[in-house]
Amino acid sequence: MTVERMLTEEEPAADLVGRVLQEAGIEYVFGISGGHTGRIVSGLRKYQNSLRMVLVREESLAGVMAEVYGRLTRRPGVMIGQGPWVLGNGLIGTMEAFLSSSPMLLLTDFSDSPPFHLHAPYQQATGDYGSWDARRAFSGVTKQVVQALTPIAAVQGTQLAIKHALSGQCGPVAVLFAMDSLSGTVGPDSQPGLYPTRYYLPAPPPAADAARVAAAAQALLAAQRPVVIAGNGVRIAQGYDQLAALAEAAGLPVVTTAAGKGCFAETHSLALGVFGTFGTEAANACVAEADLVLAVGTKLGPSDTAWENRDLLDPTRQTFIQIDIEPRNASWTFPAEHVLLGDAAQVMQQIHDAVVQHAAGRRDAGKARVARWREQKGYFNSPGYFADDQPILPQRAIGELMRHLPDNAIVTCDAGENRIMMTHFYQTKQAGGFLQAAGSGPMGFAIPAALAAKLVHPDRPVVAVCGDGGFAMTMNGLMTGIEQDIPIINVVFNNQALGWVLHGGGPFAAEFADFDHAAIARAMGCQGVRVTDPAALGPALREALNARVPTVIDVRTSLAQSFADITSPLAVAASPRRR
């Protein structure tokens, strides 16, 4: 079969950028028309039946929405806008995509002004004297930078950017368009030739080496106390079902990293929740006693491993099996005797197929181990879930979320102490039900993350949980929710403080005035309610679940509970600050 050309007639290069996105199966573009990229935005009009432009009020919203879309769909999330502001305002989503391996495209520009590029024109980013250097700036926070100087390069560069964003370990790729690249046309006889985007999409990654899989499966079956540590890579690979099937076949207790929380239902009979610095006692106890650790899609960073406390993880007494798509991540933190390179979902399926016929009785044994640790250490049974304190304890607010949200709800979290509370106390009921910043941990993440999650899963309730500090950073996202008909719920833990800062260093520069965030929301056109009585939170949540517009529930929360109260003693003992 011969390869056909992309074009049969001459077309504007700016319009063809939209066609490339459509051919790649991308459904949304997030951002603000600006600079030379305005030509691309105008061209998206041709594809609006299949490619939706989501206009936001500020680039930080677009960056996070694009990152989350990429993480949830495994198709590149697209942020578009002018170079200085995609870099400056949009950096939190870009940084998160870079550190948590989410496929993402940044369509932006040099803001150049030919033929005056040597005379320091306004906003120029070409790197000439008197200009800032976009290529160097974006290269520090992206997987690849593609420079498009001609109309053909504008089209082909976008195709290559999609390829690079999806190949191997995913990540963000920036395309920098020069003015000339978006102001011309290309035709069927243009050189270099242009071809349909499907030829640029990477092939599925190969399976892990069969001999290595067999050896790992044999080690797993020989282990008496194996455990799975699931990371954000399970989510990137969409490997929820494969993780559950492997755990059930081999009787593997499942713990997750904080970034991996939501990859496995914490109500499952083999689940023990998050492990590590802010993990559950049951999860840490199970990992500590394990003789084999199967680490899937996790880099096992220091905050995951309680600062690499040897009482938790130790390769001199535990066998490690590591699954990762990036060879450079293999045996990065701990030496792994069995390294399986490949897509997490595919490799877990390979291990499942290798053990399923030889694992009789292991499922019951695994469940018994989980039940024992839950009974000894407790498991999502904090008395604070029912406390009547006013201001409201975070545990009580979280308990109300657990009791009133349906099983298929998706919760997104911000940064700070509120996220630590949610990580530790909130129990997810379905895989895919919890999302937080996996790599950089920025404030202002929860609201745009919820907007993107609701677009990807319109039939599931989506709740953004943030502190009053994080809410103030991206509350303009609620305007986008109204304009774009994205009815998310926003629960604000309002303790009038930066809780992490206050409890970690004292009250200096950590306290806020008491703002009524529900009233602010109502002024925008949202539904808003302020809750000071814990008994009122459940009814407020039920009403919000039935609302057709974004809802803000401003919960007056207590500072009596600190992140230090739920920090694992393992992390306290091994913390560098104690050395």
126-142: pLDDT as tens digits: 999 999 999 999 999 99
Domain ranges within the chain, ordered by starting residue? 11-200, 210-377, 383-566
Helix, strand, coil proportions of the chain in percent (round to 5)?
45, 15, 40
> 10 Å Cβ neighbour count for 413?
30
165-221: pLDDT as tens digits: 999 999 999 999 999 999 999 999 999 999 999 999 999 988 999 999 999 999 999
Domain 383-566, what architecture? 3-Layer(aba) Sandwich (3.40)
d(CA 34, CA 81): 5
Q: Does domain 11-200 fall into CATH 3.40.50.150? A: no
pLDDT at residue 579, as a whole number: 40
527-578: pLDDT as tens digits: 999 999 999 999 999 999 999 999 999 999 999 999 999 999 999 987 776 4
CA geometry: angle 35, 39, 40, nearest 5 deg: 105
DSSP 461: -
d(CA 476, CA 365): 50
87-117: pLDDT as tens digits: 999 999 999 999 999 999 999 999 999 989 8
d(CA 248, CA 365): 11
d(CA 375, CA 367): 12
Which residue is listed with tokens 């814990």? 534
Phi, psi of 241 (to 5 degrees): -65, -40
> What's the gap between Cα 434 and its chain centre?
10
> 10 Å Cβ neighbour count for 509?
9
Q: How far separated are the first and last CA of the chain, in Å rounded?
A: 66
Helix (H, G, I), strand (E, B) or coil at 563: helix
Residue 184, amino acid? G
The pLDDT-based confidence of 506 (bands split at 50, 70, 90) is: confident
Residues forming a β-bridge with 293: 227, 320
Secondary structure of 362-386 in HEC code, one letter for each residue:
HHHHHHHHHHHHHHHHCCCCCHHHH
Average pLDDT over residues 60-87: 97
Average pLDDT, the chain: 96
Listing DSSP states for 78-143 in one string gives: EEE--HHHHHHTTHHHHHHHHHHT--EEEEEE----TT-TTS--TT--B-STTS-BHHHHHHTTSS
Helix (H, G, I), strand (E, B) or coil at 87: helix
Decide: 169 and 231 in contact? Cβ < 8 Å: no
pLDDT > 90: what percent of the chain?
Answer: 93
> 10 Å Cβ neighbour count for 484?
16
Q: Do the two domains 11-200 and 210-377 of this chain adopt the same fold?
A: yes
pLDDT at residue 211, as a whole number: 98
Average pLDDT over residues 30-57: 96
Cα Rg of the chain (Å, integer): 25
In terms of CATH, what superfamily is 210-377? Answer: TPP-binding domain (3.40.50.1220)
d(CA 285, CA 266): 16
- Is the sign of the CA dihedral 282, 288, 294, 300 positive or negative? positive
pTM for the whole structure: 0.97
pLDDT at residue 573, as a whole number: 84
Helix (H, G, I), strand (E, B) or coil at 571: helix
Residues forming a β-bridge with 392: 557
CA geometry: angle 344, 345, 347, nearest 5 deg: 65
- Packing angle between helix 91-100 and helix 59-73, nearest 10 degrees? 20
Consecutive H or E run containing 418: helix 417-425
**Residues 6 or more apart whose Cβ sits within 8 Å of residue 303:** 258, 276, 277
Residues forming a β-bridge with 319: 292
Phi, psi of 392 (to 5 degrees): -75, 130
pLDDT at residue 267, as a whole number: 98
Q: Which of these ranges, 16-20, 267-271, 498-502, has the smallest mean pLDDT?
A: 498-502
Residue 68, amino acid? V
